[in-house]
Amino acid sequence: MGRFWRDLFGLANTLTLTARVVLLVVSLFVAGIWALALSTTAALERDLTQLLSDNFSSEATNVAADLDRDVRLYVNTLAHLADTLSPEILADPVKADHALDQFADSSAVVPHDCFVTDAKGTIIAGYPARFVQVGASVADLGYFRKLVATGKPVIGEPAPEDIGQSNSTMAIAVPLRNGTGAIAGALVGSVLLSDPLSFGQIEKLRVGRTGWFLVVSPTDRRILAATDRRRVGAVLPGHGIIPLLDRRFEQGYEGAEIVQASIGTRILSVARKMETTGWFVIASNPTTELFAPIASLKRHIYLAALLISLAVALILRFFLARQFAPLAQAGKAMRRMTKGEIPMAAIPVTRQDEIGELIADFNRLVEERGRLDRSLQAEIISRRQSNAALRDSTERLDGIYQTVGEGIVSTDAEQRIVLFNAAAERIFGRSADDIIGQHLNVLLPERFRARHAHQVADFDSSGQTQRRMGTYGLIYGLRASGEEFPLEASVSQSGTGPNKLLTVILRDITERRQAEQVREQLVRQLESLGGRLATAQEDERREIAYVLHEELGQELTTLKLYLQMSLSGNSGSEAAVPRDEALAMAVHATERVRRLVLDLEPPELTQLGLYAAVRGYSQRQAAAGGWKLHFDASKPEVRPPRAVERACFRLLQEGLRNVLEHSNASEVWIDLRQSEDTLEFSIRDNGVGFDYDASREYDGGESANLGLLGMQIRAKQAGGSVEIRATAGAGTEVLAVFALHTTTVESV
């Protein structure tokens, strides 16, 4: 500011006495008009603000009183309901649910949802079912702890009804007591703040034409209700942003003030605190509406001041233009000289004043400029010849760098990049224009930068001119996308001191490394899959041998004894007993053999086709696993190839085995659909599921992903594909699709 006044006084000293007097008079006149306008409008704003503040205070007080009354009505209603819930009702959740339903049907004031907890905070009954989770606990919530501590009704802090929703609910808790008067639990009702019978009535209230009401929680500064529903759920600025909000929420200040609101406009604001909840009702109105008459007066005054100022400025400009005409003519001649339209030459001096002295100084400058131009022209010719030779050499070298297939990066002594060829641009995904001048570390992952600095220092001190990088292990680069990739590189150095140049020639080996990793992973998977197949075959043989020897063998031996007894000559009732026992034993053994054969190769698959085999096997497994089966299939008009039927049935066996052993499901859906060209088969359960993406990461052991891989291989052998859809906690679905070259179903 001091410099401004110094410059202003300096400019005034260059004017004539007449010009300075005129300028001073005009300045004082304009300043007086603007000062009068500002003082008048300020006084009017102050008086109008006081009048409007009193009106706002009255409206805010009435709204706060109405909302307090509504909250107390909810509290009294819940307290009355709590008195009707006897210890016998609280001991029976069914009776408690019935009592709450009767309350919801008969009461004029009904919370959005309501539930009853025991003394430990566990919900035992409530309505509606979609909002109340019986068995959940509210013991950690603030309002429940406060209710237990005080034994009085508590109004909780508002909370969003659902994540991502602006609508909030207010929890009201009243104590439930047993026969001895001790707290036996809590009755909790949640009130939607958007309910038109409570805080939702704010949406119908307005201050003036464009003003509004807000209900704000001071603990988290969240808007709970508002005239403009779109603002519900928004959070007001934090501490230190708007001092008036800090005074209201921290000191309980309720007075009227004009502030800059968070929505970007100046407003007049008044607040009243609600006694029941501690929330604030804030009435606000934009000053653009309140001070509209004053704004109109301001516009007229400012317009008059502007017009007078413009008139004075035009007169002053005309006066100064005549005074500075010689200077303008000299300036025009100077501009033509700088553009080359006329040669540099002295300008005639027509007045012996400050302007004439300035023109004389310019003439001396022109003379000195001519001398310097002649000297500079000789220097330019010499430098032009040197630059041409240097440019030719640089272009040849740059052409070599840009056509090389390997990436080339050169840095100076401080490892600032000075050269970045086209191959390097392609490898790192960065343009030379963006990367040149940056430190080499931008091309390296963070964890390798310290080791790289150590290697460069070691190479610099070794005196070597070149070295293959990677001596201390595989090195990695960093693409512009943040992807790390392996590379091969060699480094060379030239020059000394500050002119030292380090050049790195590098090759991206990402595809080669990926191919090696895929090959190694496939080898490991095939080895593990082969071992698992051999193990499965041995287990199956062992199970068959056990059934044939231990179970079926014993039953046949017993059958033999019974037959011997029946042939020993006994007759009548004594012989009938062994015959009946032998017959029962034969039936049991036959059934066991039939089940064993069905598991290995069900006759339905060969005789009746895939539809019958899938249905029969699914029903048997559902009975064994104890889950509910949903079977949806239509019997096809044509029968798919035997290879497809067999592959599909084996997928069914593997899928249901996984459900039985791993899913812990209660329901299973099996769909079988056949069209002219395709056969679609799916198994879906509601079990625990698993992380399919994680299972695809091979861990070297006999994990579930090998079974999934086996299913995919079996389907592929029959011309199909398998898709696994699984998420932890959300069940699993196996979808198989086979291409068909169908044949007519044989009649049986």
Q: What is the DSSP string of 74-122?
A: HHHHHHHHHHH--HHHHH-HHHHHHHHHHHHHH-SS--SEEEEEETTSB
Higher-pLDDT residue of 463, 188: 188
Max Cα-Cα span within the chain: 162
User: Using an 8 Å Cβ cutoff, are 736 and 728 in contact?
Assistant: no
The pLDDT value recorded for residue 245 is 85
Encoded tokens for 636: 């096809």
pLDDT in tens, 541-558: 555 655 555 566 566 666
Encoded tokens for 676: 């002219």
Quick one: average pLDDT of 453-472? 64
Strand 484-494 and strand 183-192: the pairing is unpaired
Distance CA 588, CA 158 (A): 68
Distance CA 604, CA 586 (A): 23
**Average pLDDT value over all residues in the chain:** 77
pLDDT in tens, 502-529: 888 877 777 777 777 767 776 666 656 5
Report helix, strand or coil for 569.
coil
Distance CA 253, CA 236 (A): 17
The pLDDT value recorded for residue 570 is 56
DSSP, residue by residue, 165-210: -S-EEEEEEEEEE-TTS-EEEEEEEEEETT-TTTGGGGGG--STTT
Distance CA 25, CA 671 (A): 97
* pTM tops 0.95: no
Report helix, strand or coil for 468.
strand
Winning range, highest mean pLDDT, from 263-272, 359-368, 580-589: 263-272
User: Using an 8 Å Cβ cutoff, are 613 and 602 in contact?
Assistant: yes
**Across 116-120, 344-348, 420-424, 573-577, least confident range:** 573-577
The pLDDT value recorded for residue 175 is 93
pLDDT in tens, 133-178: 888 999 998 889 998 899 899 988 887 654 344 567 889 999 998 8
pLDDT in tens, 277-327: 888 998 888 878 777 777 777 777 778 777 877 787 777 667 766 766 776
pLDDT band at 699 (very low <50, low <70, confident <90, very high): very low
Backbone torsion region of residue 117, taken as left when φ is above 0, otherwise alpha when ψ lies between -120 and 50, otherwise beta: beta
The residues with which 118 forms a beta bridge, in sequence order, are 185
The pLDDT value recorded for residue 466 is 60
Distance CA 677, CA 675 (A): 6
Which sign, positive or negative, has the C-alpha torsion 566, 568, 569, 570?
Answer: negative
Distance CA 686, CA 732 (A): 7
Long-range contacts of 583-586 (CB under 8 A, 24+ apart): 585/555, 585/558, 585/559, 586/559
The pLDDT value recorded for residue 115 is 92
Helix-helix angle 510-546:704-717, to 10 degrees: 90
- What whole-number percentage of the chain has pLDDT above 90? 3
Distance CA 253, CA 216 (A): 14
Strand 266-273 and strand 280-286: the pairing is antiparallel
Backbone torsion region of residue 187, taken as left when φ is above 0, otherwise alpha when ψ lies between -120 and 50, otherwise beta: beta
Q: Which residue is it, tokens 């009732």?
A: 573
The pLDDT value recorded for residue 117 is 92
The pLDDT value recorded for residue 188 is 92
